[in-house]
Amino acid sequence: MRGPIVAAIVRKDARAFTRDRFFFFITILALVAYAVVYFFIPSNVDETVTVGVHQTGLDELIRGVAAASRGLAVAEYDSSADLEDAVTRGADGVVAGLDFPTDFAETVAAGERARVRLLLPAGVSEDDRLLLEGIVGEVAFAVAGVPPPVDPITDAVVLGTDRVGDQMSLQDQMRPMLLFFVLMVETFALASLVSIEIQERTVTAVLATPARIGDVLAAKGIFGTGLAFVEVLFLALVIGALAPNLPLMLVALLLGSILVTGFGMIAGSFGRDFMEVLFISFAFMIPLAIPAMAALFPGTAPLWVRLIPSFGLVDVIGGVTTDGESWREVSGALASLAAWSTAAFVAGSMILKRRVSTL
């Protein structure tokens, strides 16, 4: 590998990229669009559950229960019909209704069982139903002074990060996905540049000079990685993904750029025209995007998702930006990412080298 030759090829690739209006346009578009999307998505989570209540004579009691319960709000209605209508339409953010009988206080105070109608909209979850039943029990406790048979709060154990009152916003969840999508766009751009070079046989002309295939591969690797890294870095800066741990994020994004460069070289080697390159690029990128999509949903990713090469990247970004994880905490994911990036880059280089040798 000779520096001046590699530098000349990198400069040429950069020029070819900026001259290609399509790739230049979709790159700028992707960066702007993802940044705009990020700032349009909600940055906080409203954890308040609003329950509609129709009752007579329990105003203070109900408000007291609501005030004592974190995340519970009460909307009062004058009649059962109004309450039913609100629950049906979801008016005032009401997710359920409690229709207390007029003699509720007296009945409970007398130690008798009172019947409270729990109004639920179609499709309500079992969890929400249980929550609302608990509220009824709380009210009964407050009126009668008799504790309910089970206090679920005392038995609750939060595994992992306790995010009660500090839920991950959609913005936080989207961060890994947006950053990965930028890398995806660059995979396609690099694949197309490689493919054009092969199809137009310009690489043959390059190899008829003192330039060697190693110089070409090094230049493609540097250009592809550099292009992807600069762009993903830009978006990361804009959406504030670098702030929690700059060195760690730089390493993760650099490894991610190397990963997609490897896949770009593979796609570019096989694609014979624009549509084929598009198809092959997406054939790689769609599975690679699965971990980024999975990050939108709570819970631990299944094993098969964890085995996807891009999982390490998403895991590190998510861990660092949302949970403030340290080098030590993400070391496993980072090692996995480094291994996959190396494998993808080596495979891409070998396949491209073989493709060029058959021209």
Amino acid at 96: A
Q: Report the alpha-carbon distance of residue 196 to residue 9 in Å, rounded.
A: 15
Question: Per the structure block, which two tokens stand in for 213?
Answer: 């295939």
Which residues, 206 to 225, sit near other proteins by CB under 8 A? Answer: 206-212
DSSP-assigned letters across all residues of 85-148: HHHHHTGGGEEEEEE--TTHHHHHHTTPPPP-EEE--TT--HHHHHHHHHHHHHHHHHHH----
Could you tell me the CA-to-CA distances from 27 to 175, 265, 326, 350 in Å, in that order?
Answer: 18, 18, 31, 27
Our finding on whether 205 is near other proteins (CB under 8 A) is yes
- Beta carbon nearer to other proteins, 15 or 272: 15
CA distances in angstroms from 306 to 116, 241, 323, 347, 352, listed in the order given: 47, 22, 19, 21, 28
- 184/199 Cα distance (integer angstroms): 22
Residues 6+ away with beta carbon under 8 Å from 194: 220, 264, 265, 267, 268, 269, 352
Binding test (CB under 8 A) with other proteins, winner from 1, 14, 15, 88: 15
Q: Tell me, what DSSP letter sits at residue 273?
A: S
Is 12 an interacting residue with respect to other proteins (CB under 8 A)?
Answer: yes
Q: Give the count of residues interacting with other proteins (CB under 8 A).
A: 22
Establish if 72 lies at the interface with other proteins (CB under 8 A): no
CB nearer to other proteins: give 212 or 353. Answer: 212
- Indicate which single residue of 5, 191, 266, 314 sits in contact with other proteins (rule: CB under 8 A): 5
Question: Does 4 contact other proteins by CB under 8 A?
Answer: yes
Smallest gap from Cβ 281 to other proteins, in A, equals 20
**Least distance (Å) between residue 224 CB and other proteins:** 17
Site pattern 251..280 for other proteins (x: CB under 8 A)? ------------------------------
Q: Which is nearer to other proteins, 208 or 303 (CB)?
A: 208
> How far apart are the C-alpha atoms of 174 and 186, rounded to whole Å?
19
**Piece of 83-91, 204-212, 226-234, 280-288 that binds other proteins (CB under 8 A):** 204-212
Residues 181-200 binding other proteins (CB under 8 A) are 200
Nearer CB in complex with other proteins: 300/358: 358
Comparing CB distances to other proteins, the nearer of 20 and 276 is 20
Angle at 222 between CA 217 and CA 228, to 5 degrees: 125
Nearer to other proteins, 43 or 202 (CB): 202
How many other CB atoms are found less than 10 A from the CB of residue 114? 19
Spatial neighbors of 31 by CB under 8 A, at least 6 apart, are 182, 231, 234, 235
Question: Is the Cβ of residue 2 or residue 89 nearer to other proteins in the bound state?
Answer: 2
Q: Which of 13-21, 79-87, 133-141, 221-229 is the region at the interface with other proteins (rule: CB under 8 A)?
A: 13-21
CB of 355 to other proteins, least distance (A): 14
Interface with other proteins (CB under 8 A): 4-5, 8-9, 11-12, 15-16, 19-20, 200-202, 204-212
